[in-house]
């Protein structure tokens, strides 16, 4: 159906919107939260499946709570620059939403964010104006409706009707009419037919084609292809990687060392980990209600992130050639890796300094390590610029974690909004900061100390090029093979399956390891009496 040129304007007066919203108030009794029809009675004939108890004029005047919550989260991401993985749980708690409703909302919200590029291409084909001329709130509503129509098992009439109800409730009847017309057009074809129409042919432009099909900006598709090749994998894996970046990630738990164990987590509903010796997997939903998490003895953390911290805290034991009493986490916020390292210091009789540039993120680190402090770990947090720590505290630390700020292209499963916020220019700006932080970390390292350079991005300009550039400028640093250090944190019997490449760096991948795309390089400050040649790699360590 082609939208009428004389459709009502999107911006209605406050008086008219208030009248329309009052007329449409109330939950639609004929639908459940997922848009499925409920059974009901009709006349004296008794229950009949597929009928609503409400009159047609009363139906779909407002959205179900699930769609409203998803919409609120979308607006928080768009208007407040909120992180998706932080915004949604807060809004779910505000609405006291649990169970199936929460699961539906989560699928709708994250799915719409991941598919935004593809959805926008389809929506653009259905309207007679550029998307930047559509009111942002209305565009978010169209995206939510289009995702239900094309990607979810929601009946088309329910997806359209309930989304129009959402529009009527939050932006007014005029916009609801516009949304109705566009969604009816979108509903005329299945997803594959729309993709065939709006995606450039693969034979003409593979990058542009994959960008639409897998809903990534073209520059990110190109960067991921180049990263696969640079890190020793095949470019033919690109489509599998893009698909994995659009899949909902497995929820992983991490144990605070010495405060809980796998048996307790399993007793609380978790399962064995895939990789990390301090990990566990959570089947579904929010694990925040179990005692180990509520009490700070466990937390949610990707297993790839755990392996990065464990490579330094466990795997570097045989690599450190300095007095091993002082450790440093240079960019500590929000504190997940800090807590894992902090727990490991107890067994090493070491103390940990955690520095973070932003004060509010320092408070997050304080919260993450609070239980460990109560248990006797020596952890100090400090708000400071990591780029100056090397000059202020030169040669003081035996182990340093430099988990530097990056584009986050390795965590697009968890933060799908990042793909739409980032721009190619961000890579260069961050590269300057990354080099400065790595230089500072090496200055802060004692002779014989080990620095772990970590990013949550596989981008070549944030990983291999940073390490190469810094090494080129220094003659007091040697690169170590990081593979065995990573294997030290893997559950017994699984290390041989890890596919850690040819070294000396390690790059994890969502489509290979099921983790975020974490990168690790291990560098050692040369001992004062070391010869000016690189020693053998770490293949002898276990």
Closest CA to 451 of 489, 398, 502, 518: 398
CB 494 within 8 A of CB 472: no
Question: Count of residues for the chain?
Answer: 542
CA 193 to chain centre: 29
Closest CA to 309 of 344, 280, 271: 344
Element at 251 (helix H, strand E): strand 251-255
The angle subtended at Cα 196 by Cα 195 and Cα 197, nearest 5°, is 90
- Cα–Cα distance for residue pair 190/122, rounded to 1 Å: 11
Whether cis (ω within 30° of 0) applies to the bond prior to 334 is: yes
* DSSP class per residue in 480-499: E--HHHHHTTBPTT-GGGS-
* Tokens encoding 366: 């304080």
CB 370 within 8 A of CB 379: no
Sign of the C-alpha dihedral computed for residues 258, 260, 266 and 267 taken in this order: positive
Neighbours of 428 (CB within 10 A): 9
What is the side-by-side strand order in the sheet with 279-282? Answer: 279-282, 251-255, 298-300
- Is 456 an annotated catalytic residue? yes
3-state secondary structure of 476: coil
Q: What is the DSSP letter of 538?
A: S
Which neighbouring-strand residues pair with 298?
Answer: 255
3-state secondary structure of 430: helix
Using CB atoms within 10 Å of the CB of residue 57, give its burial: 0 to 12 exposed, 13 to 18 middle, 19+ buried: exposed
- Cα–Cα distance for residue pair 497/444, rounded to 1 Å: 35
Q: Which residues are known to be catalytic?
A: 456
């Amino acid at each position: 159906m082609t939208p009428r040129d004389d459709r009502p304007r999107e911006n209605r007066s406050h008086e008219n919107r208030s009248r329309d919203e009052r007329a449409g108030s109330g939950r639609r009794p004929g639908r459940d939260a997922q848009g499925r029809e409920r059974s009901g009675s009709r006349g004296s004939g008794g229950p009949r499946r597929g009928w609503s108890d409400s009159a047609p004029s009363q139906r779909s005047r407002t959205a179900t709570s699930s769609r409203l919550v998803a919409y609120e989260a979308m607006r928080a991401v768009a208007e407040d620059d909120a992180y998706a993985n932080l915004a949604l749980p807060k809004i779910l708690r505000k609405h006291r939403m649990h169970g199936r409703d929460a699961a539906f909302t989560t699928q709708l919200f994250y799915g719409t964010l991941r598919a935004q590029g593809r959805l926008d291409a389809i929506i653009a084909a259905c309207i007679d104006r550029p998307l930047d001329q559509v009111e942002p709130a209305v565009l978010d509503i169209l995206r939510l409706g289009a995702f239900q129509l094309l990607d979810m098992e929601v009946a088309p009439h329910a997806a359209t009707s309930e989304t129009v109800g959402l529009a009527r409730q939050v932006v007014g009847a005029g916009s609801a009419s516009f949304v109705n017309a566009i969604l009816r057009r979108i509903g005329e074809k299945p997803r594959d037919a729309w993709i065939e129409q709006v995606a450039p042919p693969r034979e003409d432009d593979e990058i542009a084609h994959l960008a639409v099909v897998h809903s990534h900006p073209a520059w990110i598709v190109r960067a991921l292809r180049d990263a696969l090749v640079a890190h020793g994998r095949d470019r033919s894996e690109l489509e599998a990687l893009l698909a994995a970046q659009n899949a909902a990630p497995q929820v992983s738990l991490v144990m605070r060392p010495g405060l809980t164990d796998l048996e307790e987590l399993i007793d609380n509903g978790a399962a064995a980990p895939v990789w990390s010796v301090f990990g566990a997997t959570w089947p579904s939903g929010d694990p925040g209600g179990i005692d180990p998490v509520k009490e700070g003895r466990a937390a949610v953390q990707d297993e790839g992130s755990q392996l990065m911290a464990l490579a330094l805290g466990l795997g570097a034991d045989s690599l450190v050639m300095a007095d091993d009493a002082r450790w440093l986490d240079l960019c500590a916020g929000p504190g997940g890796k800090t807590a894992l390292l902090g727990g490991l210091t107890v067994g090493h009789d070491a103390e940990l300094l955690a520095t973070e540039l932003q004060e509010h993120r320092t408070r997050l680190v304080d919260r993450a390590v609070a239980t460990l402090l109560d248990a006797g770990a020596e952890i100090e947090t400090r708000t400071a610029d990591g780029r100056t720590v090397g000059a202020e505290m030169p040669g003081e630390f035996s182990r340093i974690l430099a988990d530097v700020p990056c584009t986050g292209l390795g965590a697009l499963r968890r933060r799908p909004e990042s793909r739409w916020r980032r721009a190619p220019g961000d890579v260069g700006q961050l590269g300057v900061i990354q080099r400065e932080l790595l230089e500072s970390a090496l200055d802060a390292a004692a002779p014989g100390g080990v620095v772990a350079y970590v990013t949550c991005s596989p981008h070549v300009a944030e990983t291999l090029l940073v390490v190469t550039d810094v090494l080129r400028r220094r003659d007091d640093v040697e690169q170590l093979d990081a593979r065995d250090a990573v294997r030290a944190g893997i559950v017994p019997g699984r290390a041989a399956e890890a596919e850690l490449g040819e070294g000396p760096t390690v790059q994890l991948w969502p489509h290979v390891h099921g983790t975020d795309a974490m990168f690790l390089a291990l560098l050692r400050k040369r001992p004062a009496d070391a010869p000016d040649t690189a020693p053998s790699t770490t293949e002898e360590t276990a």
